[in-house]
């Protein structure tokens, strides 16, 4: 299935800004995060089609996944 992944802030470094890619059926957010080599500790917001999702969320063909790092400083 076809998934568009959008990365933000530091997650773009050494990766990409936007990428369309083929993934097997049943792919979860967690598996894409792992494929991209993003440490789970750095994960902030994950959105699928602009809605908050958890790591175990299963993606569907045509979905757009956006991943933002965790910001906590003040």
Partner 1 sequence: MMTTLPIFIREQSVSRLLPWKLQIEAAERFGVPLAQVEEAALERGILPARYQRNRTTMTVGDQLTLFRSCVAVIGCGGLGGYVIEELARLGVGTLVVIDPDVFEEHNLNRQLLSSPAELGSPKVAAAVRRVGDINPAVTVVPHQAAFSPANGSELLADCTLAVDALDNIAVRLELAETCRQLGIPLVHGAIAGWYGHVTTQFPGDTVLQKMYASRSGEKGIEQQLGNPSFTPAVVASLQVAEVCKLLLKQGTPLRGRKLLIDLLSMEFHELSLNEEDGGIP
Alpha carbon distance 34, 55 (integer Å): 10
Q: Does 38 bind partner 1 (CB under 8 A)?
A: no
CB atoms within 10 A of CB 57: 17
Q: Does 4 bind partner 1 (CB under 8 A)?
A: no
Alpha carbon distance 28, 54 (integer Å): 9
Which of residues 24 and 40 has its CB atom nearest to partner 1 in the complex?
40
Shortest distance, position 28 Cβ to partner 1, whole Å: 13
Which of residues 1 and 30 has its CB atom nearest to partner 1 in the complex?
30
């Amino acid at each position: 299935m076809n998934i568009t992944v959008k990365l933000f802030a530091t997650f773009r470094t050494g990766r990409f800004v936007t990428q369309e890619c083929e993934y097997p059926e049943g792919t979860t957010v967690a598996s894409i995060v792992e494929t991209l080599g993003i440490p789970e500790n750095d994960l902030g917001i994950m959105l699928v089609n602009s809605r908050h999702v958890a790591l175990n969320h299963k993606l569907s063909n045509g979905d757009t996944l956006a991943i933002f790092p965790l910001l906590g400083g003040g």
